[in-house]
Structure 1
Amino acid sequence: MKFEDVINLKSNQITDPTYIKKCKETLERNGAIVIDNFITPQALEQIKLEGAAKKHLAFFTNQQHNIYISDADPSYPEDHIRNKRVISSKGCITDDQISAESVLRTLYDSDVFRSFLKVVLNEQALYSYDDECSSINLHYASEGQELGWHFDNSSFATTLMIQKPEAGGEFQYVRDVREADKGEMNFSDAERVLAGDITPNMLEIEPGALVLFRGRNAIHRVTPTIGDTTRMMVVLAYNNKPGVALSASARKTFYGK
């Protein structure tokens, strides 16, 4: 499939400066932007079919982690928010399992798409990961699987919703809980989020939507999937520096290889 047949260019004029400016302003204002019907129905169907055909290849994990996705800090008690454990469970197929002819690869490798992202995300350049696993990931969340509350280590995330579950699987977030670059962790508000004392925002994401999200200082989660329909979501991972690769131990942890 050609690039022109992947993105719904009539609705999403990603080379038009006015459209790009509007997207950038929305992301800067809200910390997130959901662009509905970003890919065409034909492209969405092809990705869904590839995802269904390759689900048996997915590496499934059920992990406990703290909200910072980091090692525990022994200077705090085990039940302190710095060390408190949450659960994430999902399946994933990796870049090396995405076919060379995949719609996802056409989109990910497109200079036009990458130029659009670069401006909206306010990045000087965007590069693929320098390993065989990380650039394109297709995630699966079956009944009961979820992503626990956490902060991202990267400054932005780029995702595509492919298939919604019957219920659950909601993307919830609370903005500006911490200021990571200044070392301001704001443990009290993070504790309140996990306790349910702060009502999170929710993104309404339909299949075919592109989502850009700044999760470094916004705590977020995906609630457990309900029903027999698997939630399928693609992560299109870029770096603002060349030559970045996950370590062998990280690849083993996240991808099982």
Structure 2
Amino acid sequence: MSTLNTILDLAAYPIDDQDFRAECRNTLARTGALVLPGFMKPEAVEQVKQEGLEKQHQAYYTAKQHNVYLAESDPAFGEDHPRNQKVTSSKGCITDDVIGEDSPLRIMYNAEAFRDFLGDVLEEELYEYADPLSSINLHYASEGQELGWHFDNSSFATTLLIQKPAGGGVFEYVENMRDADRGEMNYEGVERVLKGEVEVKQLSMEPGALVLFRGRNAIHRVTPTQGDITRMLVVLAYNNQPNVALSETARMTFYGRLTA
């Protein structure tokens, strides 16, 4: 914990305290989102930001059209049907193998105390990815880049904001929009979201905020970045089973390569 104490604000967030863990777990269960402002100390955030700026030229950039279900189009529906309607996601990304061994991100990700905290809050056993690219990703969204409306395939996501843009880059969501386990896709509700007819919620976050989000049934997006300050966001990716690698198709799509 002594090393983590230089990176994380453990006075404000006692991650080994069972009462604090229970509070976090209850908030996540109740709302589907947990935001811990200032979780990473400012000096550690600055170190990660500088690393991100220095390595941004190594990022792989993609602009992808996809439907909100992140699945192949279903020929039973028209292309303008909410099941198949396309939205755009565009971003850059540096992968786990590019993140330095002495980076606060790697120290944090590998720390048993941090992983144990996440696992307790998420009520999951957590394991790193078996491939060399997917465990820690730093995402860049420059002006005009965005994350289109979608549902996650995984049950949870863990992110850390590093740099906030001058404008835009807002995380918006609508909870309980579908029930994936029951196969209830709620096309009518999704169509209303895509048309802007549904009031959305926003997650307010500043650099250093840790966010746990359950996006399997909550439709969500990140609005286009505005201005010349790039939005930088870290995704700390874990599996609930050991020895799982991101598929080769997904790695080629998001990273442009398969190995380090």
TM bin (shorter chain): over 0.9
Superposition deviation, residue 4 in structure 1: 1.9
Q: Which amino acid aligns with 1:172?
A: E
**Partner in structure 1 of residue 156 of structure 2:** 156
Residue 246 of structure 1 deviates from its aligned partner by 1.4
Give the corresponding residue for 2:114.
113
Query: Secondary structure of 1:244's match?
Result: coil
- Tell me what 2:137 maps to: 137
Structure 2 residue 245 is the aligned partner of structure 1 residue 245? yes
Q: Structure 2 CA distance, aligned partners of 1:192 and 1:249?
A: 31
Aligned to 1:91: 92
**Corresponding residue number in structure 2 for 1:126:** 126
Q: Give per-residue Cα distances to partners, 1:59-96, cap 9 Å, x unaligned.
A: 01111000011111111111111100000000000001
User: What's the secondary structure of 2:234's corresponding residue?
Assistant: strand
- How many residue pairs get aligned? The number is 256
Task: Name the counterpart of 1:82.
Answer: 83
Distance 2:53 2:107 in 1: 19
What is residue 65 of structure 2 aligned with on the other side? 64
The whole-number CA distance in structure 2 between the counterparts of 1:148 and 1:247 is: 22
Deviations 1:179-204 (A, max 9, x none): 00110001000110111110110000
Deviation at 1:2, TM superposition (A): 2.4
Q: Distance in 1 between matches of 2:213 and 2:246?
A: 21
After superposition, give the CA deviation of every residue in 1:141-183 in whole Å (9 maximum; x if it has no partner). Answer: 0000000000000000000000000010000000000000110
Q: 3-state DSSP class of the match of 2:153? A: coil
2:29 corresponds to which letter in structure 1?
Answer: E
- Quote the Cα distance in structure 2 between the aligned partners of 1:69 and 1:218: 13
- For the residue of structure 2 that corresponds to 1:148, the secondary structure is strand
Structure 1: gaps (5+ residues): none
Match of 2:190 in 1: 190
Separation in 1, partners of 2:243, 2:20 = 31
**Over residues 204-246 of structure 1, what are the superposed CA-to-partner deviations in whole Å (9 max), with x where a residue is unaligned?**
0110000000000000000000000000000000000011111
The aligned residue for residue 180 of structure 1 is 180
The equivalent of 2:48 in structure 1 is 47
- Let me know the Cα RMSD of the aligned residues: 0.9
- Unaligned stretches of 5+ residues in structure 2: none
* Secondary structure of the structure 2 residue equivalent to 1:155: coil
Q: Percent identity?
A: 59
| 1:250 aligned counterpart, secondary structure | helix
Q: Distance in 2 between matches of 1:246 and 1:117?
A: 21
Pair 1:203-2:203 in alignment: yes
- Asked if 1:17 is matched to 2:18, the reply is yes
